[in-house]
Amino acid sequence: MAELVYPPVVAACKTMFRVLDLRIRLVDTEHIPRTGGAVIACNHVSYLDFIFCGLGALPADRYVRFMAKQQIFEHRIAGPLMRGMHHIPVDREAGQASYDEAVDRLRAGQVVGVFPEATISRSFTVKGLKTGAVRMAADAGVPLVPIALWGTQRLWTKGRPRKLAQRHVPVEIHVGAASYPDPGDDVAGATDDLRARMQTLLDEAQRAYPDAPGEGEQPWWLPAHLGGAAPLPE
């Protein structure tokens, strides 16, 4: 597969990160397999998460093909980029075709990225997960790798103004050990296990985060259980 678009997009993003002096830290990227197919399941706190999740796979020299809603592919600017990077459009009225394409890509040795929460978590905890990530990994016979992002919500998240030019923001990218779902597994149970592992990774990323609120502060970007002003999960 020719990679004419992905490399320059990655280079442009890295240049922007340097200009903004984003303090990006990648942890345990050795869990990303260097060959063969794999499903990456990432938490979702920002509209920019696909960029940073994809960044977590670059040390393994892998490009992630994300599953994204069809409307993005129809955008006059984003659409050509998404198609050029060989991401996978998801039509929610015909989801089986997208699922089948993702499984075919995995069997062909590609890395497919999904956000199993399906939408941004405004509580900044891991929401309930859809079962697709587990089912795809099982059907394709590939590892399932969790990733947790933290800090990206400070740049652009649901219900908050964009701050894409904000400088010096720390971003944590934590990669977890792979699991190997089997077609005979209890899908609901395996999905619950994935959610628990993603939340553990997120907890680690939050503990490691170098920015902390001042005394008496209740910042919007922290979850309620850490003293922040984000909405409760319910």
pLDDT tens digits for range 19-57:
999 999 999 999 999 999 999 999 999 999 999 999 999
- Evaluate whether residue 6 is within a structural domain: no
Q: Is 232 a domain residue?
A: no
Tell whether 54 is covered by a domain: yes
Q: Is the pLDDT of residue 132 over 90?
A: yes
Mean pLDDT of 124-149: 98
pLDDT at 94 over 80: no
Residue 183 lies in a domain: yes
Cα atoms in the Cβ-side hemisphere of radius 13 Å centred on 10: 18
Q: What is the CATH number of the domain that holds 56?
A: 3.40.1130.10
Average pLDDT of every residue of the chain:
96
Please report the pLDDT score of residue 217 as a whole number. 86
**Which residue range is the domain that position 56 belongs to?**
20-226
Tell me which residue of 59, 64, 58 sits closest to 37, measured CA to CA.
64
In a domain, 13, yes or no: no
- The tokens for 89 are 């459009």
In a domain, 149, yes or no: yes
Q: What is the pLDDT of residue 153?
A: 98
Q: State the average pLDDT over residues 53-69.
A: 97
Question: Does residue 36 lie in a domain region?
Answer: yes
Which pLDDT score, from 0 to 100, does residue 95 have?
A: 83
The domain total for the chain is: 1
pLDDT for the residue 213:
87
pLDDT band at 216 (very low <50, low <70, confident <90, very high): confident
pLDDT band at 2; cut points 50, 70, 90: confident
The answer to the question of residue 2 being in a domain is: no
Q: Quote the pLDDT of residue 140.
A: 98
- Is the pLDDT confidence value at 143 over 80? yes
Helices (H), the chain: 6-20, 49-55, 70-73, 78-84, 95-107, 132-140, 187-208
* Per-residue pLDDT at 1 exceeds 80: no
- The residues near 92 (Cβ < 8 Å, ≥ 6 apart) are 69, 70
Residue 159 has pLDDT above 90, yes or no: yes
Which residue(s) pair with 89 in the sheet?
A: 68
Q: Where residue 93 falls among pLDDT bands split at 50, 70, 90? A: confident
